[in-house]
Amino acid sequence: MLDLVIIGGGPAGLTAGIYAQRYMLKTVLLEKQLVGGQVQLSDVIENWPGIKSISGMELSERFEDHAKSLGLKIEYGEVTGIDERDGKRVVKTTDGEIETRTVIVATGARPRELGVPGEREFRGKGVSYCGTCDGPLFRGKDVLVVGGGDTAIKEAIYLSKLVNRLYVVHRRDQLRAEKILQERAFSIENIEFKWSSLLTRIEGKDGVERAIIHNKKTGKDEAIEVEGVFIFVGIVPNTEFVDVEKDEWGFIKTNQRMETSREGIFAAGDCRATPLRQITTAVGDGAIAAYMAEQYVARMG
């Protein structure tokens, strides 16, 4: 029987794995697709202390290498639920069941969809949720970015270097993003802001040809000729499979010890109800969760 199953291989899960190996807990990390999580989609990370600038891909590879060098076992499979049996946890996957004393849920989150006509139809044909992945396809073209948070503005700054003209469509007249990102974006010549505006429709034939936006203040609609629409309007937690207490958006509620409403089940990183979702905060969560799991296992004897 295992001491710990970590679900999810992003920064929170891999950090929990590193700590668990050092605590000598018998651990398996389960990952659905690719180890690394959302960090891998980030062009450049500039707020990981000690490294002024590093690509998301490289930082996540370093996390993985570190965890593996300590002997962390990584397996692939999708978790469908967590049951209880004789005071132990049973992690149910598409391939079977795993018995464990404790579980850390570190499944992160995924981009939120806007739900406008054309969004699903043109996904992969001009509609994207990842600038780093799809940006190079729009070299020299005109594109539009929706959102005013850190992700939207960071991605807009990155994309502005590749594309001809870039429109940022934001529903308010003020950005939510960090001030340093705002200042950088405002100083870039090929970025134009469309304030107090909503993207209402994406149109085209074989691919995106234009986006229709609605200005809430003037009440007017405008068609903008673009070949790419990048949507960054927040994130949805990957927590559907686990039956623990969550907030109104589905993020898992924990206390400061990362304990969820169910004994022996901990949560860490972006899937948790937390005021800040960063690599730095995910890593801190992962360390605490592994420490608490170790304490729990020690108490169980």
Nearer to ligand NAP, 115 or 140 (CB): 115
- Which residues on neighbouring strands pair with residue 222, listed in sequence order? 213
Residue 249 CA from chain centroid, whole number:
15
CA distances from 27 to 14, 32, 230, 290, 293 (A): 11, 17, 38, 10, 11
What is the C-alpha to C-alpha distance for residues 151 and 141, in angstroms, rounded to an integer? Answer: 21
Provide, rounded to whole angstroms, the least separation between the CB of residue 177 and ligand NAP.
7
Q: What is the 3-state secondary structure (H, E, C) of 218-240?
A: CCCEEEEECCEEEECCCEEECCC
Catalytic entry in 43, 130, 271, 285: 130
Nearer to ligand NAP, 91 or 152 (CB): 152
Catalytic entry in 133, 173, 221, 247: 133
Provide, rounded to whole angstroms, the least separation between the CB of residue 101 and ligand NAP.
32
What is the C-alpha to C-alpha distance for residues 12 and 29, in angstroms, rounded to an integer? Answer: 11
Nearer to ligand NAP, 41 or 290 (CB): 41
174 burial via Cβ count (<10 Å: 0-12, 13-18, 19+): exposed
Provide, rounded to whole angstroms, the least separation between the CB of residue 110 and ligand NAP.
11
Counting every residue written for the chain, the total comes to 301
Provide, rounded to whole angstroms, the least separation between the CB of residue 253 and ligand NAP.
17
Any catalytic annotation for residue 133?
Answer: yes
What is the C-alpha to C-alpha distance for residues 233 and 152, in angstroms, rounded to an integer? Answer: 7
Provide, rounded to whole angstroms, the least separation between the CB of residue 166 and ligand NAP.
16
- Amino acid letter at 250? G
Nearer to ligand NAP, 237 or 264 (CB): 237
Any catalytic annotation for residue 271?
Answer: no
Nearer to ligand NAP, 11 or 148 (CB): 148
The residues of the shown chain that bind ligand NAP, judged by CB under 6 A, are 47, 114, 146-152, 154, 171-172, 176, 232-235, 276-278
Enumerate the active-site residues: 130, 133-134
